Copies of this chain bind each other. A is one copy, B any other.
């Protein structure tokens, strides 16, 4: 049967691999199924391991984004996997597939972007591999650590936990639409949206204060979209959720763009991927001051329920089905 769903394939492979796990690796605490694999290095120290592949025409379009931005974004997406476990990044490995005829300067620019993102997260590019390939492939793997506290899994959300999001969501998707629709007027008027798409924020620098203030019970980075990624948390935690649309911190720029295009900003907010903001749940009740960490908004947008999925729109609780971007779904 040809692959028709990324999630179905991942389920099958996960089962296959779990059944083949060596018995003598008791220090591997969490394998496939979270943002990072967690390996115990000591009583109070954990290694975090993650990998992500970015492929030309799937994750980026070389004619639409600069190599610096492509490199920056690929690295940021990897960094956010470590951030989503509450960890600090240490080092990254970069494996590149490069089409023949590619300019050396292009590759140097790609690395410039990756190095920029890496230095924001305090990590070093410590190794890599390079091969020829038909299309540009950027495969990054990243190593981080938590020391002094346990990594935050997707599975720890409990009923009545508050659901928080860092920054804002939606602009990356709107920026992508502008880029794909070849809309020069729109791209001029809403330059901030395409810029956000090309350079989504790196939240590594707020992870430590966020961990202290909120003691997250579950966390994930927004890579597929809020609904899909919250779906991972509630599925792994065996819980439900209630999101309140009126709480969504949509930016004025996103609202103005949506007004012009006849779109609902809340809908874009729910489904915009590759944002790399942190979505987490917390039972802590930090004061008003916690609405912002180092200038980054941290906004409550809903509550974990015992079960069932709802979005509250203008006072009405609407049941929702979960979805997300699937590379193989037609």
Where the two chains meet, the residues of A that have a C-beta atom closer than 8 Å to any C-beta of B are 1-3, 6, 8-10, 12-13, 16-17, 20-22, 24-25, 27-28, 31-32, 36-37, 39, 41, 47, 49-55, 57-59, 90-91, 93-98, 100-105, 107-108, 111-112, 115, 118-119, 122-135, 137, 139, 141, 143, 327-328
Contact = CB atoms under 8 A, between A and B. Distances in A.
B98 A143 contact: no
B143 A58 contact: no
A52 B126 contact: no
B124 A28 contact: yes
A280 to B, nearest CB: 20
Contacts of A54: 131
- The winner among A10, A103, A104 for most chain B CB atoms within 10 A is A104
A154 to B, nearest CB: 13
Nearest to A121: B22
8 contacts: A17-B115, A17-B124, A32-B125, A37-B93, A39-B126, A58-B133, A95-B139, A135-B135
A104 B1 contact: yes
Nearest 6 pairs between A and B by C-beta?
A: A37-B126, A139-B139, A141-B141, A51-B93, A53-B95, A37-B127
Contact of A135 (B9, B21, B93, B133): B133
Contact of A32 (B97, B127, B133): B127
A122 B20 CA distance: 11
Contacts of A115: 16-17, 20
B328 A90 contact: no
A111 B16 contact: yes
A58 B119 contact: no
B49 A91 contact: yes
Contact of A124 (B31, B135, B327): B31
A12 to B, nearest CB: 6
B39 A90 contact: yes
A33 to B, nearest CB: 8
A100 to B, nearest CB: 7
